[in-house]
Structure 1
C-alpha cells in the first residue's frame, strides 16, 4: 500500500485507513485481530478509533491487540476525544484531557499519534480547546493533532489560531464525511484544508455502505440497514443516491472492478484527501475492500463521476457527525 504525508506534516500514513466503528459491536475480538492482521499485511498503518464507539469497547479491543499481538510502532494510532462532557462542555480543557488519559489507558499506550478534537464548540473559548492540544503535546501524550467534522471556516480558524503563535501545535488533519454521496467538503472544507496544509480523512467513504450497491434493490437481512444502524444508512438512500449508485455500477462494469473499489479510488485521490477510512465487520470483507489500492481511475471515468455526483448545496442533506 502506498503512503502519504498527512497534510503538510512529517507524519506518513497509509493512503487507506482502517476504521474500527464495528469493533465491540458487530466485530468481536477475534475478527478484529484478523482485520488488523490483514490491514498490516497489506501495508496499512493508519488505524482510527474513538472513545464514543460502543462506550469505549473499540479502544479496549485495539489496546489489547496492540499490547499482545502487534508492535506499537508498526501502526499510526488515531483517536478522537469525547464528544460529551460534564455540564455540556465537550471541548473544555478538563473534558478533553480527561478523555485523553482515558483513551491512553484503554489503548494501553503512552502516546497517541494523531489526537482529534471531535467538534466545534462555540460555548468554549477556542484558546482553551486548542490549548489542551498544546498541553497534550508538551506532556508527550500525543504526537500530532487534528480536528473532526469541522467546516471550512472552523478548520481555517483553528489552523490559523495555532499558526499565529510560535510553538503551538499545528492542525494537520480534519476528519469529515466525504464520498460520492456527500460532496459537502467540496464547498469549503477541502479548499481550506489545501490552503492550510491540512489533510482530510474521509469517513463513510462508501456512502455509509450505499455505494457498494448492496441496497440497490433490497435491504439484506444481515446488513446495517436491517439493524440498529438503519437511520444511519437511510440518510443516503435517496433518489439522488440511486442515480449516483447506478452510474458507479456502470463505471465499475466498464473497469471490471467492484463499485466499492471505484468509489474508494475516487475519494482517495480527491484534492486534500490523505486517506479514506474504511471499516468492515469481517476480515474477508476488509481484504476485499483493500483491493481498491490497486485501482486508479481513468480521467474520463473520474470526470463522469464528478459530474453525476456534483453537489447541490440547497437540496443535499447535511452529514450527521459520528
Structure 2
C-alpha cells in the first residue's frame, strides 16, 4: 500500500444517524480508529467536500474522501541487529527476542532496540506505527513476539489483542513449591510510591493470569503461564503478589532467595542469575491475511536451561 492514498466512499443509507468517525472506521477497517480520528481532526477527511467534526452524524448518501497520509518514522535509525526471525511472510514476522534487547526506543535506550533492528531488516516498516510492533516484552524477558508488516495486518493484530484472541504462553521459574495451577484476577496499575513499578491495586486495569505446574523441584516450581490480558509486567506482578516471585526478578522478587542444603553450584547460579527467569515460549493467532490459526513455539534459552539442569541435579 502506498504511504499516501486517496480513498473514496459513498455512505450507505443504512448507516444513517451514525457518527462520522464510526462510519469511516467501518468503511476503512484497514486503519485503526485512533488514526482515523487524527485524520478527521487534521482535515484529511471531507464529506461532500466539507470538513466535519468526528462526532457529527451523517444521513447516508454523502461522498467521503479520505486522504490517507502515513507518517514516516524518521527519528529512529536502522541498525544491523540480529532479529531471530522464526517465521516471516508478506504480512507478519514472528521474532524470538533475545534477553537484553529493548523493544522500543525510550529515554536511556535511543538505539540498539528492536525497532532499530526492524527498520534495518525491512525499511518499509517506517510507515507503520512503532515499526509494526503491536505488543511488548520486557528487556530481560526472552521469547516470541509478532510484528506486523502492513497497515492492514497491524490493525487486525491490534484488534485481536484487544479482543483477547492472541494466545501467549510463558515459562516462569518461581520460588516455592506450587501445589496446583490456578487463575489470578487482580487489577494492575502504577505503584503508589515507585512510579516505575506496577502493583496490584483496586484502581488499576483488569488483569487475568492463568498458570499451571510444568515441573516441580524441592524449592522451586516451573510454571506455564498464559495471559488473558496484557498489562505491563503482568506476570511478574501477579506471581510476586501471590508469594511466588520469579527467580532473578530484582524489581518484584526482592533479594535472591537461596534455600539451605543446596549445592554450591546451584547456590552460585541462583545468586548470580542476571534477569527474571521468564520466557515467552508459545504464540498463537489467527493470521491477519489468510485467517488461518497458526502457532509457533520456541525452547527456553540457554541461561534458563542451565539453571533448570542444576535444579534437576538436586532432585
TM-score with structure 1 length normalisation?
0.28
More helix by share: 1
The one of the two structures with greater contact order (alpha-carbon pairs below 8 A, sep at least 6) is 1
> Which has the larger Rg?
2
Q: Going by fraction, where is strand more abundant, 1 or 2?
A: 2
TM-score, with normalisation over the residues of structure 2? 0.29
